[in-house]
Amino acid sequence: MTGQIGYALVPMIARGVMLGPDQPVILHMLDIPPAAEALNGVKMELVDAAFPLLKGVVATTDVVEACTGVNIAVMVGGFPRKEGMERKDVMTKNVSIYKSQASALEKHAAANCKVLVVANPANTNALILKEYAPSIPEKNITCLTRLDHNRALGQISERLNVQVCDVKNVIIWGNHSSTQYPDVTHATVKTPAGEKPAPELVADDAWLKGEFISTVQQRGAAIIKARKLSSALSAASSACDHIRDWVLGTPEGTWVSMGVYSDGSYNVPAGLIYSFPVTCSNGQWTIVQGLSIDEFSRKKLDLTAEELSEEKALAYSCLS
């Protein structure tokens, strides 16, 4: 929680950005022992900010204490890939982290705890967590692709020079990686003349099938290049969006993207954590059904599913 994303996230939660302006919260912050002193510094700042909704803070390096009684768990901790590391090395590190956190959540979290995995490889970390916490319902384990979803909204709004709140129903399909498929086929934009299809307003198929997709796919790398650090405030903000919509519901006629456990919808292999368009109500997400998938989209959906199947196999080989 002393990392970039955690430090951006805790004030947002304490301000009511995640659960609304009337919902008091108790924050449980977990970090690794070398960060214990810095974590205590974050706790001091939370006290100093005098957030009216913040009813308590637990700052700990003990995973059991951190997980005890939590209703919502946002997993921002993971082992980052360092130069010269193979993917399997990173996967092995993360598998062991998510294995231990899974069992602590399963034993100590509140009964209907909702879990959001942010740390990369997010989809596969969420899958590991699901494997090692069999009593947590699979519908309660998700990963963050709302950041990619919001990036796609941002690109369309910039391109059309409209407010981002007037753009809706983009879709991120698949993995939170550079194989993800940002899809605007079904997106709409609010105009003075009513809602119009985004592709019609953009009127540039080459851009939508080329630069738009690669910009969203590569945005994380572009931010690292600019900031010399990875996306933090945008990741924290979209984590709040993800949980808020999941808990409080999506607006009528609007869907969002969430990495969820695949049931075979859209011919995506069942048993992967894959990003789909979803609506939420009463604390439950539902995959939006019946959207048309053209040939271009089909290839993209399959490509990112293949990568996720490979990651899953790699993760399972690290488990044995």
Catalytic residues: 176
CB-based contact 146:241 (threshold 8 Å): yes
d(CA 104, CA 98): 10
Is 203 annotated as contributing to ligand binding? no
Is 62 annotated as contributing to ligand binding? no
Is 159 annotated as contributing to ligand binding? no
CB-based contact 122:144 (threshold 8 Å): yes
Task: Provide the 10 A C-beta neighbour count for residue 16.
Answer: 19
* E-strand stretches of the chain: 25-30, 54-60, 72-75, 114-117, 141-143, 167-168, 171-173, 181-183, 188-191, 194-197, 256-261, 273-281, 284-287
Three-class secondary structure assignment of 70-104: CCEEEECCCCCCCCCCCHHHHHHHHHHHHHHHHHH
Is 31 annotated as contributing to ligand binding? yes
d(CA 244, CA 169): 17
Per DSSP, 227 falls in state H
- Can you spell out the DSSP letters for 38-59? HHHHHHHHHHHTT-TTEEEEEE
Is 120 annotated as contributing to ligand binding? yes
Is 151 annotated as contributing to ligand binding? yes
Is 112 annotated as contributing to ligand binding? no
Per DSSP, 34 falls in state G
d(CA 262, CA 304): 13
Is 227 annotated as contributing to ligand binding? no
CB contact burial 151-185 (16+ within 10 A = b; e otherwise): bbbbbbbebbebeeeebbbbbbbbbbbebbbbbbb
Enumerate the known binding-site residues for NAD(+).
Answer: 31, 94, 118-120
Binding-site residues for substrate sit at 81, 87, 120, 151
Residues marked as binding? 31, 81, 87, 94, 118-120, 151
